C-alpha cells in the first residue's frame, strides 16, 4: 500500500511521555483500559472471591436458575456458574496473554529482522509467514493441537502460531517505514552493531502499530480460545474457561440458558475492552491518526 | 503495472502454495492415530491396521507419497482417493468449492450491506451519538463467537419463528427460493461478524480521507456535501475499502469453517475438519491446498486492483 | 421400555394410525449425527456405517425385535449332531438390487473375503473357529467348525458386518462406496459428509416391503441443530437427540421419543499392567468410590440404568451382581490396605466425540478426589483416543461396548487372555477356561451357570468398572409409523411408513 501521509515533524528516537499523557486522556483508551483492568483484577483475585468451589458438584441443585444463592445459576453438575465465571477469567486471560505474548515475541523478532535486513532474509521469513497465513486459521490451530495434544498450554501455542504471521507483517511494515530515517542512518554511521540499532533505534519507533496489534490480538485470542473449545480442544474439564463454558452451554439453551449467557457476556465484555483499547491506542499512536479527534 | 512485477507476484504465490503442500505432508508423521484405526474403530487388530495401512499406501516413504500426489494433481488433476469414504477427492472437492465460495460471497455481501452504510454514517459525524452507536454495534458484533451467533440465529429464525430451515445446502440449480432459504442463516452468521469488523475499517478509511486538505477545500468552496462525498471522499477511500474487502473475503474463506460445521454446510472447511479428525490425509491436503489457492489468489487480486483504482500506485 | 406420550389425544391418534393400513411411498428424511466412516461391511466399525448397511444388506439369519435368531436369507439351518458343522438352506428367488440372483457361491465368496487376512477386516474375530465355508449346491451353504459353537448363529445375525453383498463389487471397488445387497433399500447416492440416499430395492424379496420409496440420510453433526431440525420438521427422524433434551422433547406433541434398553454398557477400562491400578484393591476402591447415580445422571440425564455388571437387567442373561454400592469409606479403607492411604495420581481418558464420556469422567474425577485419588482428565479426539487405547497409553478410559446380545459378546473378546480387544491386560486362567467352555456349550442353563461365574470373577477383579446400561433413543415426527427402536441398536426402515 502506498503511504500517502507525510510527516513534517522530525521523529524522535524515543516515544515521548506526552503520548502516554495523550493516551490517558483518550476516551476509548480509558474506557477499554478500565474494562480490562477490572477484568484483570477479577482474573487475579476472582478465585478467592468465588462464593463456591468452582469444581464442587451438587446433584441436588442442578440447573438452578439465577438466585441470591447462585447469582448466575448452576450448571448440569450443579456447579455454581458465578464461581466458574470468576475462576474462568484467570484461565481465559492466561491463555490470551501468554498466547499473544509468544506470538508477539516471535512475530516481532521475525518482522524486525525481515524488515531491517531486507533482501533474501526478508524474502525467506515472509514467505514462511505467508505459508502459515495461507492455512485456514481454525484448521491450523486444530492441526497444531492434534500434534501437540490438547490442554491449555498447547492451546496457547496453537493460538500463538496462528497469530505470529500477523505480528511479523505489522512489525515489518512499521520497521520499513523507519529504517531509512536520519537517526537510524546516523547510528549506522557511528558503527553501532546491527542488533543494537534494531533494538535501540528501530523497534522503539515502530512500537505504535505493534502495541495496537497486541491489544486487538488479545481480543481475538479470547475468541480463538472459545473457538477451540467449540471443537472440544483447549482447557480440559473440569477447569472452566469462558470458551468451554459457552461452548457447553449451547447444548442447554432450553433448560438452562444462564449456563451460556454469563460466560458469553464475560467474553463479550473482555473482547469489547481489548478492542476499544486497541482502537483508542491506534488513534493515539498511529502517526496517520495523530492529533485527530 | 509491469509484467515483471506480475510474474514476481505469481512466482511468490506458487512458492507459498508449494510450501503449504509440503507442510500438509510434513504433519502426517506428527499426527497421532491413523486412518486405518479410525476405519476399524474399537475393532482394530494390529494385523488389520497393518493390512489397511498397506492398502492405503501409507507404508510408502513420505517423499514417494508426495511426488505421486503432486504428479497426480499436475498431470491429471487427480487429488487421490479419500482413505475413509474411498471416493475420488477431485469429485468431492468440485462439489464443495462452490458451496464454500457461495457462502463466503454471501457473507461478504451481508457484511458490506452492514459496513458501508454504518461506516459512512459514523464517519460523517465522528463523536456523535450516531457514531457511538455504530461503534457499539461493531464492537459487540466482533465480540460474539460465531458458533454462538449461529445457534442463536437458528433458535430465533428456525425454531421460534419457523421462517428458515436450520441447516443444509441447496445449490442455486435447485431454484432460487430453496437456495436463498438455506443460505440466509449461515450467511447472516458469518456476515454480521464480518460486517462488524469492516464497519470499523470503513469508518477510519473515510475519516482519513475526510481530513485531507482537498476535501476541506471542496467543502470550503461550497460544493454540496453529497457531491463532495461522491466525487472525492468515496473515490479516494475506495483503495482502503477494496483492501478491506479483499482481506475479509480471504478471511471469510477460513472463518466459515465453524459456520459450515454448525449449519451442516458441505463446504471445503467442513471437509478439511472431518479429514483432520479422521486422518484422511489426501482429503485434508486437497482441502487445505485449495483454501490456500483461494486465499493467495484473492490477496493477489486485491493488490493488483490498486493499480486500477489509484493511478498513483505503480508497481515496478 | 418404550416411552409413550402423556397426551391422550395424540396417543389415540397414534393408535388410529397403527390400525390404519400402511401407506406406501414417500421419502423419510433422517438425520445421522456422524457420517459413515466408509461402507465396506468387512472393514468399518462405526455405528453410522452399520446403520446404513442395516437397510441395504441381509444376513443369513437375523434377530427379531426380541433378539431371537430368526431366518433371513437362510430360510432354515441344521446344526450337525456333533456340533462341528452348520448347514444353511438359502431362500429361493432372492435377487440383489442389481437384479443378479443370489446363489450360495456369493455367500461363500463373501465369507472367504472376510476370513482372508489381506482384507484387513476387524470383524473376522466373529468367525473364530470357522474352518471353511462351502457351497455343495446353489442353495446350500455349509460352515465347518473346529469346535461346537452355539454363539455362531448370534454372531452371524448381529448387525450387518457379516451381511451378504454381490462379491463382484470387490473387484471393481464399488464395495467401498456402494455395496450391492439384497436388503430393502439400495444406496443411490453417497456424498461423504453430507448425505446418503437410500432408494427402494425393486427386487426386495419380502412381499410388499419396504413401504418407503426412499430414505434421505442427512449428516447433522451439531446436536442442538439436529434437535431444532426435528422440531421444525426439516427432518422426520433423528438417530440421536441430546440426552439433556429427551425429557423436554418427550413432553412435546410434535415429537415422538422412542427408547429401548440397549445391549450395551458404559464402563471404565483400567490399565492393570503396573502401578497402583495393578492392585485389585485399588480397582475395587475406585468402584466403591464412584456414585453411579450421579455419573449416569451427568452423562445421560436419566436415560440410563446404573449397573455394576455388564449385562442389562432387561436381558434374559441378567445376573444383577452388585457388590459395589457407593461407599467412599470402604474405598478409603481399601486404598489404605493397598498401601495408598493418601491416594495417588492417575489419568482418566474419555473421548471428546462422546460428550457423555467427558461428563461421566468429571463425576468420576470429583468422586475419586473425595477419597484422595488425584485424577486428571485427558479428553482426546477419536483418532488419537483409539491410538492411545490401542498402544496401552492410559491409566483408565471411559467408553462403551454396543450391540451385544449373547453373553459371549459381553465377555470373551474383552477379557480372555490375549484376545485382541483385551486392552486392560486382564488375565485369569479360570475365567479363560470358563469362557472357552461356555461358548461351545449347547445347553442354555449350563451356559448360564458358567457365565454367572465369569461375571462374578470379572466384577470382583474389576478390569472393567461398569457404570451404566444406556438406553437407545431415537426421536421422530408423529407421522413416522412402524419404526421400532431395538435393543441391538439396529436401525431398520423396512416396515416404516409415513402417515401423510
**Residue A136 maps to which CATH number?**
1.10.3720.10
Closest A-chain CA to C388? A149
Judged against a pLDDT cut of 80, whether residue C397 lies above it is answered with yes
**Torsion B49-B52-B56-B59 (CA) sign:** positive
**Residue B95: its chain C contacts at CB < 8 A?**
191
User: How close, in Å, is residue B310 to chain C by CA atoms?
Assistant: 45
Does the beta-carbon distance from A236 to C223 stay under 8 Å? no
CA distance C182 to C495: 16
pLDDT confidence bin for B295, thresholds 50/70/90: confident
Whole-number pLDDT of residue C20: 54
Judged against a pLDDT cut of 50, whether residue B305 lies above it is answered with yes
pLDDT confidence bin for C196, thresholds 50/70/90: very high
Element (H, E) at A277: helix A258-285
Q: What is the pLDDT of residues B178-194, one digit of tens each?
A: 999 999 999 999 999 99
User: How close, in Å, is residue A104 to chain C by CA atoms?
Assistant: 29
Report pTM.
0.86
Judged against a pLDDT cut of 70, whether residue C17 lies above it is answered with no
A149 touches chain C (CB under 8 A): yes
What number is the average pLDDT over the span B40-54? 84
The answer on B59 and B98 residing in a single domain is no
Does the beta-carbon distance from A146 to C298 stay under 8 Å? no
C45 touches chain B (CB under 8 A): yes
Q: What is the largest CA-CA distance in chain B?
A: 85
Q: What is the pLDDT of residues C106-148, one digit of tens each?
A: 999 999 999 988 888 888 888 888 899 999 999 999 999 998 8
| Whole-number average pLDDT of chain B | 85
**Residue A59: its chain C contacts at CB < 8 A?**
293-294, 297-298
CATH number of the domain where residue B104 is located: 1.10.3720.10
Q: What is the pLDDT of residues B66-83, one digit of tens each?
A: 998 889 888 888 888 888
Cis omega before residue A238 (within 30°)? yes
Whole-number pLDDT of residue B310: 62
Set of cell numbers at residue A172? 515489518
User: How close, in Å, is residue B216 to chain C by CA atoms?
Assistant: 53
Does the beta-carbon distance from B288 to A137 stay under 8 Å? no
The answer on B180 and B265 residing in a single domain is yes
Residues C29 and C235 sit within 8 Å (Cβ to Cβ)? yes
- C57-172 and C265-471: same fold? no
Among candidates C190, C214, C237, C233, which has minimal Cα distance to C31? C237
The answer on B186 and B66 residing in a single domain is no
Whole-number pLDDT of residue B184: 93
Residues in chain B: 316
Whole-number pLDDT of residue A5: 38
Domain boundaries, chain C: 27-37+183-255+477-498, 57-172, 265-471
**Alpha-carbon dihedral of residues A169, A175, A177, A180, nearest 10 degrees?**
-150
**Residue B36: its chain C contacts at CB < 8 A?**
120
DSSP string, C390-435: HHT--SEEEEEE-S--SHHHHHHHHHSTT-TT--S----HHHHHHH
Q: Is residue B175 assigned to a domain? A: yes
Give residue B197's domain range: 93-309
**Residue A231: its chain B contacts at CB < 8 A?**
273
CA distances from B225 to B126, B220, B232 (A): 16, 11, 10
What burial class does residue B311 get, using C-beta atoms within 10 Å of its C-beta: 0-12 exposed, 13-18 middle, 19+ buried?
exposed
Does the beta-carbon distance from A59 to C223 stay under 8 Å? no
What burial class does residue A124 get, using C-beta atoms within 10 Å of its C-beta: 0-12 exposed, 13-18 middle, 19+ buried?
exposed
Q: Please tell me chain B's helix, strand, coil percentages from 3-state DSSP, rounded to the nearest 5.
A: 80, 0, 20
Bridge partners of residue C476, in order along the sequence: C237, C256
A254 touches chain C (CB under 8 A): yes
The answer on B101 and B66 residing in a single domain is no
Closest C-chain CA to B39? C44
| Whole-number average pLDDT of chain C | 89
Distance between alpha carbon A121 and the CA centroid of its chain, in Å?
A: 28
Set of cell numbers at residue C340? 495408598
Does the beta-carbon distance from C44 to B55 stay under 8 Å? no
**Alpha-carbon dihedral of residues B244, B245, B250, B255, nearest 10 degrees?**
90
Q: Is residue A59 assigned to a domain? A: no
**Residue A155: its chain C contacts at CB < 8 A?**
none
Whole-number pLDDT of residue A9: 40
Grid cell 493488490 is found at B303
Judged against a pLDDT cut of 90, whether residue C305 lies above it is answered with yes
Among candidates C191, C223, C36, C351, which has minimal Cα distance to B261? C223
Does the beta-carbon distance from B264 to C219 stay under 8 Å? yes
CA distance C311 to A230: 35
**Residue A289: its chain B contacts at CB < 8 A?**
204, 208
Q: Between chain A and chain B, how many beta carbons pairs sit less than 8 Å apart? A: 123
Q: What is the CATH number of domain C27-37+183-255+477-498?
A: 3.40.190.10
Set of cell numbers at residue C179? 455395496
Closest CB to B84 among C38, C218, C222 = C38
Q: Is residue A212 assigned to a domain? A: yes
Closest CB to C177 among B42, B55, B85 = B85
Residues A259 and A88 sit within 8 Å (Cβ to Cβ)? no
Helix (H) and strand (E) counts in chain A: 11, 0
Whole-number pLDDT of residue C334: 94
Judged against a pLDDT cut of 70, whether residue B312 lies above it is answered with no
Residues C498 and C481 sit within 8 Å (Cβ to Cβ)? yes
The answer on B157 and B42 residing in a single domain is no
Please provide the distance, in angstroms rounded to a whole number, between the alpha carbons at the two ends of chain B: 7
The three-class DSSP label of residue A185 is helix
Closest CB to C298 among A76, A232, A253 = A76
Closest CB to B211 among A246, A268, A292 = A292
List of residues 6+ apart from C500 with CB closer than 8 A: C23, C26, C479
Residues A80 and A74 sit within 8 Å (Cβ to Cβ)? yes
Bridge partners of residue C257, in order along the sequence: C475
Q: What is the pLDDT of residues B109-132, one digit of tens each?
A: 999 999 999 988 888 887 788 888
A146 touches chain C (CB under 8 A): yes
C363 touches chain A (CB under 8 A): yes
Tell me B229's DSSP state.
I
Q: Which CATH number fits domain C265-471: 3.40.640.10, 3.10.105.10, 3.40.50.720, 3.90.1300.10?
A: 3.10.105.10
Model ipTM value: 0.84
The tens place of each residue's pLDDT in chain A, 293 residues long, gives 333 333 334 344 445 667 777 777 777 888 889 999 999 998 888 878 888 998 889 988 899 999 999 999 999 999 999 999 999 998 899 999 999 999 999 999 999 999 888 889 998 998 899 898 888 888 888 888 888 887 788 889 999 999 999 999 889 988 888 888 888 888 888 888 888 888 888 888 888 888 888 888 999 899 988 888 888 887 888 888 899 899 889 889 888 999 999 999 999 999 989 988 888 887 777 655 443 33
Q: What is the pLDDT of residues C411-452, one digit of tens each?
A: 988 899 988 788 898 999 999 999 988 888 878 888 899 999
Among candidates C369, C367, C387, which has minimal Cα distance to C289? C367
The answer on B124 and B51 residing in a single domain is no
Q: Is residue A29 assigned to a domain? A: no
Q: Is residue A57 assigned to a domain? A: no
Judged against a pLDDT cut of 70, whether residue C35 lies above it is answered with yes
CA distance B261 to B274: 10
Q: What is the pLDDT of residues B208-267, one digit of tens each?
A: 777 777 777 777 777 777 777 776 777 777 777 887 888 888 888 888 888 999 999 999
Lowest mean pLDDT among B138-147, C10-19, C231-240: C10-19
CA distance C273 to C422: 12
Please provide the distance, in angstroms rounded to a whole number, between the alpha carbons at the two ends of chain C: 27
Per the model's pLDDT, the better-predicted residue between C33 and A28 turns out to be C33
Percent of the residues in chain C that have a pLDDT greater than 70, as a whole number: 96
Closest B-chain CA to A147? B31
Give residue A123's domain range: 35-46+71-290
Whole-number pLDDT of residue A16: 61
**Torsion A186-A190-A191-A196 (CA) sign:** negative
Q: Is residue B1 assigned to a domain? A: no
**Residue C366: its chain A contacts at CB < 8 A?**
55-57, 238
Q: What is the pLDDT of residues C263-282, one digit of tens each?
A: 899 999 999 998 999 999 99
Residues C472 and C404 sit within 8 Å (Cβ to Cβ)? no
The answer on B155 and B33 residing in a single domain is no
Closest CB to A59 among C294, C359, C380 = C294
Element (H, E) at B208: helix B176-210
Set of cell numbers at residue C455? 461375571
Among candidates C413, C428, C436, which has minimal Cα distance to C458? C428
Range with the largest mean pLDDT of A3-17, C2-16, C340-354: C340-354
Whole-number pLDDT of residue B311: 54
What number is the average pLDDT over the span B16-40? 88
Whole-number pLDDT of residue B182: 92
Domain C57-172, CATH class in plain words:
alpha beta
Judged against a pLDDT cut of 80, whether residue C468 lies above it is answered with yes
The three-class DSSP label of residue C473 is strand
Q: What is the pLDDT of residues A233-255, one digit of tens each?
A: 878 888 888 998 998 898 898 88
The answer on B144 and B119 residing in a single domain is yes
What is the tally of structural domains in chain A? 1
The answer on B261 and B214 residing in a single domain is yes
The answer on B236 and B146 residing in a single domain is yes
Among candidates B302, B243, B260, B264, which has minimal Cα distance to B107? B260
Whole-number pLDDT of residue C2: 39
Does the beta-carbon distance from B310 to A2 stay under 8 Å? yes
**Residue C173: its chain B contacts at CB < 8 A?**
86
User: How close, in Å, is residue C53 to chain A by CA atoms?
Assistant: 29
Set of cell numbers at residue B188? 447472516
The answer on B70 and B109 residing in a single domain is no
Give a three-class secondary structure readout of A69-136: CCCCCECCCCCEHHHHHHHHHHHHHHHHHHHHHHHHHHHHHHHHHHHHHCHHHHHHHHHHHHHHHHCC
Set of cell numbers at residue B200? 470499523
Residue C190 has φ and ψ, to the nearest 5°, of -135, 105
Closest C-chain CA to B277? C383
Pairing of strands C237-238, C464-476: antiparallel
Q: Between chain B and chain C, how many beta carbons pairs sit less than 8 Å apart? A: 149
Residues C487 and C12 sit within 8 Å (Cβ to Cβ)? no
Whole-number pLDDT of residue C44: 86
Element (H, E) at C21: none
Whole-number pLDDT of residue C403: 78
The answer on B106 and B42 residing in a single domain is no
Amino acid at each position: 500500500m502506498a503511504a500517502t501521509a507525510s510527516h513534517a515533524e522530525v521523529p524522535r528516537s524515543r516515544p515521548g511521555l506526552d503520548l502516554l499523557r495523550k493516551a490517558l486522556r483518550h476516551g476509548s483508551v480509558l474506557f477499554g483500559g478500565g474494562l480490562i483492568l477490572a477484568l484483570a483484577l477479577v482474573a487475579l483475585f476472582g478465585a478467592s472471591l468465588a462464593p463456591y468451589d468452582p469444581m464442587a458438584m451438587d446433584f441436588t441443585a442442578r440447573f438452578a436458575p439465577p438466585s441470591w444463592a447462585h447469582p448466575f445459576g448452576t450448571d448440569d453438575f450443579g456447579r455454581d456458574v458465578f464461581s466458574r465465571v470468576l475462576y474462568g477469567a484467570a484461565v481465559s486471560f492466561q491463555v490470551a496473554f501468554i498466547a499473544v505474548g509468544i506470538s508477539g515475541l516471535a512475530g516481532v523478532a521475525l518482522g524486525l529482522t525481515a524488515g531491517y535486513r531486507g533482501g533474501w532474509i526478508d524474502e525467506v521469513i515472509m514467505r514462511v509467514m505467508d505459508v502459515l497465513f495461507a492455512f485456514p486459521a481454525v484448521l491450523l490451530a486444530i492441526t497444531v493441537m492434534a500434534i501437540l495434544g490438547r490442554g491449555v498450554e498447547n492451546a496457547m501455542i496453537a493460538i500463538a502460531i496462528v497469530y505470529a504471521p500477523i505480528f511479523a507483517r505489522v512489525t515489518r511494515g512499521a520497521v520499513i517505514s523507519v529504517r531509512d530515517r536520519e537517526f537510524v542512518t546516523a547510528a549506522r554511521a557511528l558503527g553501532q552493531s546491527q542488533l543494537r540499532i534494531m533494538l535501540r533505534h528501530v523497534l522503539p519507533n515502530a512500537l505504535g502499530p505493534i502495541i495496537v496489534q497486541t491489544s486487538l490480538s488479545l481480543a481475538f485470542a479470547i475468541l480463538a480460545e472459545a473457538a477451540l473449545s467449540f471443537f472440544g480442544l483447549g482447557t480440559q474439564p473440569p477447569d472452566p474457561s469462558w470458551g468451554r463454558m459457552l461452548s457447553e452451554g449451547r447444548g442447554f439453551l432450553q433448560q438452562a440458558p444462564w449456563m451460556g449467557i454469563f460466560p458469553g457476556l464475560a467474553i463479550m465484555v473482555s473482547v469489547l475492552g481489548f478492542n476499544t483499547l486497541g482502537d483508542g491506542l491506534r488513534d493515539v499512536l498511529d502517526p496517520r491518526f495523530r492529533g485527530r479527534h | 503495472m509491469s509484467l515483471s512485477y506480475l510474474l514476481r507476484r505469481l512466482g511468490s504465490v506458487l512458492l507459498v502454495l508449494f510450501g503449504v503442500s509440503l507442510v500438509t505432508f510434513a504433519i502426517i508423521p506428527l499426527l497421532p492415530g491413523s486412518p486405518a484405526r479410525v476405519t476399524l474403530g474399537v475393532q482394530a487388530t494390529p494385523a488389520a491396521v497393518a493390512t489397511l495401512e498397506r492398502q492405503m499406501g501409507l507404508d510408502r516413504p513420505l517423499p514417494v507419497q508426495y511426488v505421486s500426489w503432486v504428479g497426480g494433481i499436475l498431470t491429471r488433476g487427480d487429488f487421490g482417493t479419500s482413505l475413509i469414504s474411498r471416493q475420488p477427492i477431485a469429485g468431492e472437492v468440485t462439489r464443495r468449492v462452490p458451496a464454500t465460495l457461495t457462502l463466503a460471497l454471501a457473507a461478504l455481501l451481508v457484511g458490506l450491506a452492514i459496513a458501508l452504510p454504518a461506516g459512512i454514517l459514523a464517519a460523517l459525524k465522528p463523536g456523535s451519538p450516531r457514531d457511538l452507536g455504530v461503534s457499539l454495534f461493531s464492537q459487540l458484533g466482533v465480540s460474539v463467537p460465531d458458533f454462538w451467533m449461529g445457534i442463536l440465529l437458528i433458535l430465533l429464525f428456525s425454531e421460534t419463528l419457523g421462517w428458515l430451515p436450520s441447516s443444509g445446502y441447496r445449490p442455486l440449480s435447485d431454484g432460487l427460493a430453496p437456495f436463498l432459504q438455506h443460505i440466509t442463516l449461515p450467511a447472516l452468521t458469518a456476515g454480521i461478524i464480518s460486517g462488524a469488523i469492516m464497519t470499523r475499517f470503513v469508518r477510519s478509511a473515510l475519516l482519513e480521507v475526510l481530513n485531507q486538505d482537498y476535501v476541506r477545500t471542496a467543502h470550503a468552496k461550497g460544493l454540496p456535501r453529497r457531491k463532495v462525498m461522491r466525487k472525492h471522499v468515496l473515490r479516494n477511500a475506495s483503495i482502503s475499502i477494496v483492501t478491506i474487502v479483499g482481506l475479509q473475503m480471504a478471511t471469510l474463506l477460513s472463518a466459515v469453517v465453524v459456520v459450515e460445521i454448525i449449519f451442516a454446510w458441505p463446504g471445503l472447511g467442513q471437509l478439511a475438519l472431518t479429514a483432520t479428525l479422521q486422518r484422511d490425509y489426501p482429503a485434508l491436503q486437497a482441502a487445505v491446498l485449495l483454501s490456500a489457492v483461494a486465499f493467495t489468489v484473492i490477496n493477489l487480486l486485491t493488490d493488483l486492483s490498486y493499480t486500477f483504482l489509484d493511478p498513483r500506485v505503480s508497481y515496478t | 421400555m418404550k416411552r409413550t406420550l402423556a397426551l391422550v389425544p395424540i396417543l389415540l391418534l397414534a393408535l388410529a394410525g397403527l390400525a390404519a393400513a400402511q401407506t406406501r411411498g414417500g421419502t423419510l428424511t433422517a438425520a445421522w449425527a456422524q457420517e459413515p466412516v466408509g461402507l465396506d461391511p468387512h472393514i468399518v466399525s462405526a455405528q453410522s456405517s452399520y446403520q446404513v448397511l442395516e437397510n441395504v444388506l441381509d444376513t443369513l439369519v437375523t434377530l427379531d425385535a426380541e433378539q431371537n435368531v430368526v431366518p433371513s436369507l437362510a430360510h432354515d439351518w441344521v446344526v450337525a449332531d456333533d456340533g462341528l458343522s452348520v448347514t444353511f438352506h438359502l431362500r429361493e428367488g432372492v435377487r440383489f438390487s442389481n437384479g443378479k440372483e443370489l446363489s450360495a457361491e456369493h455367500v461363500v465368496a463373501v465369507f472367504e473375503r472376510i476370513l482372508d487376512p489381506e482384507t484387513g477386516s476387524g470383524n473376522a474375530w466373529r468367525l473364530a473357529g470357522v474352518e471353511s465355508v462351502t457351497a455343495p449346491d446353489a442353495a446350500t451353504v455349509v460352515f465347518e467348525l473346529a469346535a461346537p459353537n452355539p454363539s455362531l448363529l448370534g454372531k452371524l445375525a448381529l448387525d450387518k458386518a457379516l451381511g451378504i453383498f454381490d462379491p463382484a463389487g470387490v473387484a471393481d471397488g464399488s464395495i467401498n462406496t456402494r455395496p450391492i445387497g439384497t436388503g430393502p433399500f439400495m444406496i443411490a447416492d453417497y456424498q461423504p459428509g453430507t448425505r446418503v440416499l437410500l432408494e427402494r430395492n425393486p427386487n426386495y424379496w419380502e412381499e410388499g416391503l419396504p413401504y418407503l420409496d426412499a430414505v434421505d440420510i442427512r449428516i447433522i453433526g451439531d446436536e442442538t441443530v439436529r434437535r431444532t431440525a426435528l422440531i421444525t420438521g426439516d427432518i422426520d427422524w433423528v438417530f440421536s437427540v441430546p440426552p439433556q433434551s429427551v425429557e423436554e422433547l418427550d413432553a412435546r406433541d410434535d415429537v415422538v421419543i422412542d427408547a429401548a434398553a440397549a445391549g450395551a454398557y458404559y464402563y471404565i477400562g483400567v490399565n492393570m499392567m503396573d502401578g497402583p491400578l495393578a492392585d485389585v484393591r485399588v480397582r475395587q476402591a475406585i468402584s466403591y468410590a464412584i456414585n453411579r447415580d450421579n455419573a449416569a445422571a451427568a452423562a445421560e440425564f436419566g436415560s440410563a440404568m446404573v449397573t455394576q455388571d455388564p449385562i442389562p437387567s432387561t436381558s434374559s442373561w441378567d445376573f444383577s451382581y452388585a457388590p459395589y454400592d457407593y461407599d467412599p469409606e470402604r474405598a478409603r479403607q481399601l486404598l489404605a490396605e493397598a498401601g495408598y492411604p493418601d491416594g495417588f495420581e492417575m489419568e482418566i481418558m474419555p473421548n471428546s466425540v462422546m460428550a457423555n464420556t467427558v461428563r461421566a469422567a468429571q463425576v468420576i474425577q470429583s468422586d475419586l478426589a473425595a477419597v484422595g485419588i488425584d485424577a486428571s482428565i485427558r479428553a482426546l479426539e477419536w483418532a488419537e483416543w483409539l491410538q492411545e487405547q490401542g498402544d496401552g497409553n492410559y491409566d483408565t478410559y471411559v467408553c462403551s461396548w454396543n450391540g451385544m446380545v449373547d453373553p459371549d459378546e459381553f465377555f470373551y473378546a474383552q477379557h480372555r487372555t490375549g484376545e485382541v480387544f483385551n486392552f486392560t491386560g486382564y488375565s485369569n486362567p479360570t475365567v479363560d477356561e470358563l469362557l472357552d467352555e461356555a461358548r461351545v456349550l449347547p445347553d442354555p442353563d449350563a451356559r448360564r451357570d458358567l457365565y454367572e461365574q465369569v461375571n462374578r470373577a470379572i466384577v470382583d477383579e474389576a478390569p472393567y468398572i461398569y457404570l451404566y446400561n444406556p438406553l437407545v433413543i431415537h426421536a421422530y415426527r408423529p407421522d413416522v409409523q412402524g419404526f421400532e427402536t431395538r435393543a441391538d441398536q439396529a436401525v431398520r426402515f423396512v416396515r416404516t411408513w409415513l402417515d401423510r
